[in-house]
Amino acid sequence: MIGSPGACYLDVDASGAYQVTIEQPLPEAVTPGQEQSFSGQVQQVSPYFSLPAGAYTVSLQADPNESVVVRLYALDDLGGGAVISDQGDYRGDQLIAPGDPPSATITLPTNGIYLLYVDAEGNGSPKWTVTIQ
């Protein structure tokens, strides 16, 4: 989530063909879904989804031996930004990080459009599910 104009650099480490798409749409340019549970493997970004203001628990289900980081980003007219857990910002923008409990609480002050970024590292292709309730 790039908050201001300027030069940016992308460092790609790939052993084969790849495609990169960079998007940062304004909220009025996306059609968010209502889904609140997302599953995937390795590193993925969820589709856009909407949440009303309120308190939520973000829960991770994954093999406890895998290293998984969960981040939640809000989309807004200024480019968006990370949602920090109610436990504080000692983890930066990571709601759930390796070694953390498998859930975090968040309070959203306003209705909004969001997306999840999940990064799982481990042997093979680690699978994960993140649910927001």
Contacts of 18 (CB under 8 A, 6+ apart): 12
In which domain, by residue range, is 70 found? Answer: 27-132
The counts of H helices and E strands in the chain are: 0, 9
Instruction: Give me the number of domains the chain comprises.
Output: 1
The reply to whether 11 falls in a domain is no
Q: What percentage of the chain has pLDDT greater than the value 70?
A: 91
Closest-CA residue to 57 (of 21, 33, 87, 82): 87
Q: What is the rounded (10 degree) CA torsion for 60, 49, 52, 41?
A: 0
In a domain, 3, yes or no: no
Residue 4 lies in a domain: no
Please tell me the predicted confidence (pLDDT) of residue 55.
Answer: 95
Average pLDDT along the chain: 85
Q: Which one has a higher pLDDT value, 31 or 1?
A: 31
Q: What is the pLDDT of residues 48-96, one digit of tens each?
A: 999 999 999 999 998 877 889 999 999 887 777 888 888 765 566 788 8
Residue 60's pLDDT is: 93
For residue range 111-122, list pLDDT tens digits in order: 999 999 999 887
Residue 12: inside a domain = no
User: Could you tell me if residue 80 is inside a domain?
Assistant: yes
Please tell me the pTM assigned to this model: 0.79
CATH number of the domain residue 46 falls in:
2.60.120.380
Angle, alpha carbons 103-60-21 (nearest 5°): 120
Whether residue 84 is contained in a domain is answered as: yes
- Mean pLDDT over residues 2-30, rounded? 80
Q: Which two tokens stand for residue 121?
A: 């590292």
The residues, ordered by sequence, that sit 6+ positions from 75 with a Cβ below 8 Å of its Cβ are 25, 26, 27, 30, 48, 112, 113, 114, 115
Determine, yes or no, domain membership for 9.
Answer: no
Q: To which residue do tokens 């857990």 refer?
A: 85
